[in-house]
Structure 1
Amino acid sequence: MNYTINEAAQKFGLSAHTLRYYDKEGLLPFVSRSHSGNRTFTDSDLEWIALICCLKNTGMPIKEIKQYVDWCRQGSATIDVRKALFVAHRQAVLRQIEELNNNLELIDAKIAFYESPGIASFLDEQIAKQSDSLQRKDSLYDSQI
């Protein structure tokens, strides 16, 4: 089946401009054009776009995606470097996941803190103590001038 640029873009929540940019950057070298010069996308092209979106969404730079596309066009001689690229990217994604999980734990701890019984009075007491402390510091500062 063939798709227009707008249909292909819509399937991935992208703009037609983004797909044109990807094509201009060499990420979609297999996309053909109609007799009127419009890009036409096949199911195979959509699979490439899905991979590009996956790699972009996980932080791979366009330059590295372009390198991958170039290696794919060179054939089986580049299988090892393609695999190495994905292994390295997988490790980077795992580090991102670990960082996100650590951040999520802190967010969960804050949610639990704000759900704890008596939190409102505890926080009001803390603010009152801080206010008293600031007033004492101001008094000390004023008396030294």
Structure 2
Amino acid sequence: MEKIFLSEQVAEETGLSAHTLRYYEQTGVIHDLSQDENGYRQYSRADTAWFQVIKYKQFFNSFFLLLECYCPRRRP
């Protein structure tokens, strides 16, 4: 049986806020989340890994944009 995580557990593990997790769900970045009988969102290990991928992608995009500002490419 796959381990299920609640929003606060995923937020703690990924460093994202619960608000950001809900935003990603609302915008379709992540979908098909199940909910328990109390309406709490349930995340799988795969969902948690996907949030990590998104977080790192955003970090590296920002890093490379900053790098381009300070180190523009030279043309031959």
- Structures share a fold, TM > 0.5? yes
1:40 paired residue number: 42
- Among 18, 21, 43, the alignment partner of 1:19 is 21
Higher relative contact order (CA 8 A, sep 6+): 2
In structure 1, what is the Cα distance between the partners aligned to 2:70 and 2:45? 35
Higher helix fraction (1 or 2) = 1
In structure 1, what is the Cα distance between the partners aligned to 2:27 and 2:48? 17
Runs of at least 5 residues in structure 1 that lack an aligned partner in the other structure: 61-92, 103-145
The normalised TM-score by structure 2 is 0.71
Count of matched residue pairs: 69
In structure 2, what is the Cα distance between the partners aligned to 1:6 and 1:39? 10
Equivalences for residues 1-145 of structure 1 within 5 A:
1-59=3-61, 93=64, 96=65, 98-99=67-68, 102=71
In structure 2, what is the Cα distance between the partners aligned to 1:8 and 1:2? 10
Runs of at least 5 residues in structure 2 that lack an aligned partner in the other structure: 72-76
The higher radius of gyration belongs to 1
| Contact 1:23–1:29 (Cα < 8 Å) also in 2 | yes
* Residues 112-131 of structure 1, C-alpha deviations (whole Å, 9 max, x = no match): xxxxxxxxxxxxxxxxxxxx
Say if 1:56 and 1:31 are closer, same or farther in 2 by CA, change over 3 A.
farther
What amino acid is the match of 2:68?
E
1:73 paired residue number: none
| Contact 1:30–1:45 (Cα < 8 Å) also in 2 | no
Q: CA deviation at 1:14?
A: 1.4
| Aligned residues with identical type, % of pairs | 28
The normalised TM-score by structure 1 is 0.41
Aligned to 1:44, the other structure's residue is in SS state helix
2:74 paired residue number: none
Q: Aligned-pair RMSD on alpha carbons?
A: 2.5
